[in-house]
């Protein structure tokens, strides 16, 4: 292990992109990542089944709906309510800019 943060990989149809990520909070525990996203501290890359209830009740919203991680059902989520932050908009724009 290098201590480096692995880039997030997303697929849509036959396109695979990798996006480098950085942030003040980095978790290796999905429960903590979900709690941070629910508290509005950033976005989280989580299994859809792990946040289903939060999405259903409107506490989290899915980002980049037509993208997912390869060979899994992991998606980006952010807290619901209000517009996306500048950082979230920047991440989404960077990923969309790399789409064919």
> Distance between CA 65 and CA 67 in Å, rounded?
6
Going by the DSSP 8-state scheme, the letter that residue 98 receives in this structure is T
| Domain spans in the chain, listed from the N-terminal domain onward | 8-97
pTM for the model stands at: 0.66
Sequence-distant (≥ 6) Cβ neighbours of residue 5 within 8 angstroms = 20, 21, 22, 26
C-alpha count within 13 angstroms, C-beta hemisphere, residue 98: 17
pLDDT in tens, the chain (100 residues): 456 777 888 888 888 888 888 878 888 788 999 999 999 998 888 888 889 899 999 999 988 878 776 555 666 777 887 777 888 788 777 777 765 4
């Amino acid at each position: 292990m290098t201590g480096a943060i692995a880039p997030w990989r997303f697929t849509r149809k036959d396109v695979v992109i990798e996006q480098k990520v950085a942030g003040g909070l980095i978790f290796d525990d999905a429960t903590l990542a979900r709690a941070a996203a629910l508290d509005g501290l950033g976005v989280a890359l989580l299994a859809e089944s792990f946040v289903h209830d939060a999405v259903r009740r409107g506490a989290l919203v899915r980002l980049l709906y037509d993208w997912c991680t390869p060979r899994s059902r992991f998606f980006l989520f952010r807290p619901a309510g209000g517009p996306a932050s500048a950082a979230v908009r920047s991440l989404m724009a960077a990923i969309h800019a790399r789409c064919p």
